[in-house]
Structure 1
């Protein structure tokens, strides 16, 4: 599954010869003290080095921290515990923590929030969470004016169980839903009778999650469905999260009787996005070979799957509308064009490339809606029969990102969710006949965000590409050249950084800080060319773009190197790692969550690595190996270098990025840095990549990140 970016609106939310640098000896490490609050603090726990290396294309790559890859080694367990104790003590000593934690929690207690709207048979299904409730609950109501009722509440175990996905049957009689435990994302599917509220005995384990997405498509008669599943493991063995297939389940039968209907032998790193039309039970499969690449498109007719588009079409998203599958294809159209596929399997062009990159398609009336973006700007367009343009929806022109759309073919109204930097999540009912838009639900925030000012500046990357940067501040926070500033981005896997509610991060702005968000290459904000220029052999563009965004903040006098912090997670953690080793003097503090730092080992069978080859390329290719080695953060940690303050976080149950990535990078930085600034590692022992994290963990992570940045960047916070 794509390395999901941590929410942009929540803080938690060289040449080949370089590989032959000799390992740093702990005894050669310069003496230093970590001065947290003006008093001497202990050095980090020692990390011994052991002889290990890899031979790749004739290059010997030293790997002295490889022993940290084994989580079952008692020495590794002891090392993790010691690092956690050291980090917790360091964070506890930061005097800004108490006030920031209290304010973050206060700002996080909003009114009830709703997400994931989906319409089926006249019933609206959605998730609802009332802070500080640990996890969202599944709800249903007759649309539009029926009474809401709780269908599934996972909060009986203190938030350790999360709902991963849900799929209503065509007429809304049943609801299949998935759950996962402890941040693992490995899904078990159950089925609920919506009318009676009773859970059926059907229990289907190994139903995707983590490395490959969950997916389910109901039969037209509502007596069964096809779903994504890993092969059931042998007794006493762990499931192998590769070689996913689609299997068919008949309601009432045992999971062991489910039979494979698609994907046997398709790919070790198969991922399937099932595209449903709930009202008619039509289904299509977007089949991917790993992350970051295009899909093959198959139509499903019972147990028969017919390929209608190959990967050459470069399809990225699709939706059913009026009995035809509408797919966004990017071949020879970097911003995307739309083709329609009928039951005969023939693809017919219906909408040529236009301004803005296609992000989403949804049915409406006798036509469809298209969500588009360009940089940080998002909008929605309506098209009628024959793909005739009707209108651009009357949403704010700037500062919002579009979320889920709940709609059905033949129905003139749609429910559109969106949020913005200063706008909490809203649902707007759009009437395609009249063009009117009215808010039917909105989250009430815990403070006034109306005074937050958003400005746009541009950075210039090494190759001349302009990089949009959105800067957020409060009135009175002037560009005086030394504002404590936090810059965030992601840069990969076709995933955009889009405007979203800043929520608890208002606490940073309230004390004179600045938040900034960069639209760098690797995402799809500007279409597939923007994505492709940040993939594989071109990955260094991503890192150059981010550095250009940082320099733009400095050049615009929002901040300086002594007050600039940077933030990223997952693939954005790799981004942070490159900035640490490529530009150590340009940042004062770095927070990197669940990141990838040893790119030469990421491609092994640990966690999600093999799935990421379409995005990162394979080091089996000599040219890709050379390009990867040139930026892989771990191999470029240099002894006696003054590194910035660093906080790395990871989760013990992370299925997407192996936790040892953070362990090895933390050890290398701790043993190499000549700076008195702390290098900290926090491992959460009952958590994963962050997907499905309970409310308390998300609030805690935000508070920890802001506390660390406040302390290191000099944000004035009352004690």
Structure 2
């Protein structure tokens, strides 16, 4: 799976992107901009990267020969490739160091990033609230426990001793909160090892379970009702010194105190080579349901454990995307014949009934509260939440702000009138509010204090019109008094895939861009689920070109409304959004002045066939083994559509050497092709982080450094006012 980490995470912005090499701009840097993560050495000479040699490799698919002259860059263990990476990094560092605005921009980003303590991922278990807490510039968050609602918080897990290289990937409290299982991963790899601690004493038990998902397939864990063991996701353990193969994940059972080698498979043997599992326990942990996916981006089958047997209770034809236990009934969100979603309930006997039909707004999630449930909905960039009673009768709309916010994690239990709702918005830092289901009262109980004043930011909406007539919402963000003049330096962000919505999220350190007259824009393009599952499906497989057309329509809308022009527009995206960046710049090279593209997919032809996670993405992108899909993919795959003797915009691509979701060679091959093809004097740069991955679990310093580099690059290329 790509950028999908937890389904409740919503995409609001990215950190890095793309650009190109410009000989006229290359000047020696006298002063190294201060950074938390040193990426720039001012003593290195600024030089043009050498032209990358081209080989004669090719693939023949359905009678079509697809040249692949940069295939030799796929092998990271080849000394020639390692030297190539080092040369590219040296060149990128030198060009970035020569940008005169780097020092001031970095200092301001660092200042804005030092907010008050942040909290995320709340989970309630037997009267104890578990959550992550980070106090900038702390490298990694702490895992906390607090007796709910008024107890004293305490630290359970702190992994900051080694400088932030180890990250917590997920955590799972036991039913009565006696134990807490948590996963860790190293160097951005996401490959998880599960540990267990005693909540009362804080002592970590001897249990350590490697190969527990991560990267290609998500981590998952469900405790037994007696708290003596649990079921969890695991890859097949490798033999001897061999590396783990991130395929054929199954569910295995572990008994506390027993060695990992004795864990036994209980579900999924032979289910799918690209299986993904989401485990859902009933409140008393007596029942366990599994949402099983074949790859990422498609519908789930729903299974329930009955004793030691597993029974399929909802098939893929129901188009289920998420689910939650509401008491002893499992509520699943189905999009079959309901593009905005409907709720089905499965009772303990396995009978399925419709609880709530399709209504206004696309369902994003459901959670228990009081005698009923809460439903989170969206329609484009607008998010809201509704309360229903035990008979699915509408009670009220939760009094969240009407516009400009996205809803995050919710901690709640059936029979409890209080729910803890996390939300934030463009100008609203992350906060938690306690919702009283009896009175409807919403009270903020925790809010992040920002490092600056965001009250002078204004948010507007415009519409783009895609070639097929679809309307694409674009949110435009600028400081009060910054009005359209036809040439505002503007950064347009998009994602467009895997059912992931672009929701309002705090602009944070990007205030450094806005306060100097820059503009930010966010497009709700197809491929996400902002308007429901149909909006997603229209950007999948044979329809992927709709995603790129929608994004271009958003750019044209910014031109039409006089916010900016082709000389001042930059575009930003990562992962699947990196594919969006690659396709956008090769399809419309004259419409974008600068591109920042992180951990992107650019050779879609080879993504499926020569990288583990590519097989998981077939449900989203389709397979090139199908002639029609191959033809559609070849038409948009960025690498194959780089044209020689073309003036490409400035491009900065970034990748991590330990990325399990998108192969680092994707960025190497695309950068080489652009550098050899472009006729412009604008920089084409590649930054490879050696001890990093896809960005999930990155330490604070890396996140801040990435933002500073991205804004410095755009400021240089788009002409942001330096005052």
TM-score when scaled to structure 2? 0.96
> CA, structure 1 residues 395+485, in 2 after alignment: closer, same or farther (shift >3 Å)?
same
Q: CA deviation at 1:41?
A: 5.4
Deviations along 1:104-153, whole A, 9 cap, x unmatched? Answer: 01000000000000000000000000000000010001000000000000
Tell me whether 1:522 sits opposite 2:540 in the alignment.
no
Q: Which residue is equivalent to 2:42?
A: none
Tell me whether 1:71 sits opposite 2:71 in the alignment.
no
1:427 to 432, 444, 449: 432
Q: Which residue is equivalent to 2:420?
A: 415
Q: Give the gaps of 5 or more residues in structure 2.
A: 29-44
Query: For the residues of structure 2 that align with 1:665 and 1:350, how far apart are their CA atoms?
Result: 49
Q: Which residue is equivalent to 2:359?
A: 354
Query: For the residues of structure 2 that align with 1:598 and 1:12, how far apart are their CA atoms?
Result: 20
RMSD (CA atoms): 1.3
Deviations along 1:341-366, whole A, 9 cap, x unmatched? Answer: 01111111010000000001101111
SS of the residue 1:424 aligns to: coil
Q: CA deviation at 1:84?
A: 0.3
Tell me whether 1:36 sits opposite 2:25 in the alignment.
yes
Tell me whether 1:9 sits opposite 2:13 in the alignment.
yes
2:257 to 247, 252, 259: 252
Query: For the residues of structure 1 that align with 2:11 and 2:716, how far apart are their CA atoms?
Result: 23
Tell me whether 1:443 sits opposite 2:448 in the alignment.
yes
Tell me whether 1:715 sits opposite 2:720 in the alignment.
yes
Q: Which residue is equivalent to 2:40?
A: none
Whether contact under 8 Å (2:3, 2:576) holds in the other structure is yes
Give the paired residue count: 700
Report 1:367-446 matches (<5 A).
367-446=372-451
Q: Which residue is equivalent to 1:651?
A: 656
Q: Which residue is equivalent to 1:462?
A: 467
Tell me whether 1:583 sits opposite 2:588 in the alignment.
yes
Tell me whether 1:228 sits opposite 2:217 in the alignment.
no
1:300 to 302, 305, 315: 305
Query: For the residues of structure 2 that align with 1:63 and 1:10, how far apart are their CA atoms?
Result: 30
Q: CA deviation at 1:202?
A: 0.4
Whether contact under 8 Å (2:14, 2:493) holds in the other structure is no
Query: For the residues of structure 2 that align with 1:528 and 1:250, how far apart are their CA atoms?
Result: 39
Q: Which residue is equivalent to 2:322?
A: 317
Report 1:685-700 matches (<5 A).
685-700=690-705
Q: CA deviation at 1:649?
A: 0.1
Deviations along 1:260-296, whole A, 9 cap, x unmatched? Answer: 0000000000000112334445321000000110000
Q: Which residue is equivalent to 2:36?
A: none
Query: For the residues of structure 2 that align with 1:36 and 1:263, how far apart are their CA atoms?
Result: 56
2:550 to 540, 545, 565: 545
> CA, structure 1 residues 2+673, in 2 after alignment: closer, same or farther (shift >3 Å)?
closer
SS of the residue 2:617 aligns to: helix
Q: Give the gaps of 5 or more residues in structure 1.
A: 14-31
Whether contact under 8 Å (2:570, 2:595) holds in the other structure is yes
Q: Which residue is equivalent to 1:181?
A: 186
Query: For the residues of structure 2 that align with 1:440 and 1:276, how far apart are their CA atoms?
Result: 28
Deviations along 1:64-100, whole A, 9 cap, x unmatched? Answer: 0000000010000000000000000000000111000
SS of the residue 2:185 aligns to: strand
Whether contact under 8 Å (2:14, 2:573) holds in the other structure is no
Q: CA deviation at 1:525?
A: 0.3
Query: For the residues of structure 2 that align with 1:614 and 1:387, how far apart are their CA atoms?
Result: 33
Whether contact under 8 Å (1:416, 1:430) holds in the other structure is yes
SS of the residue 1:361 aligns to: strand
Q: CA deviation at 1:607?
A: 3.5
Whether contact under 8 Å (1:459, 1:551) holds in the other structure is yes
Query: For the residues of structure 2 that align with 1:348 and 1:156, how far apart are their CA atoms?
Result: 51
Tell me whether 1:61 sits opposite 2:66 in the alignment.
yes
1:564 to 540, 547, 569: 569
Whether contact under 8 Å (1:12, 1:698) holds in the other structure is no
Q: CA deviation at 1:299?
A: 1.1
Report 1:138-153 matches (<5 A).
138-153=143-158
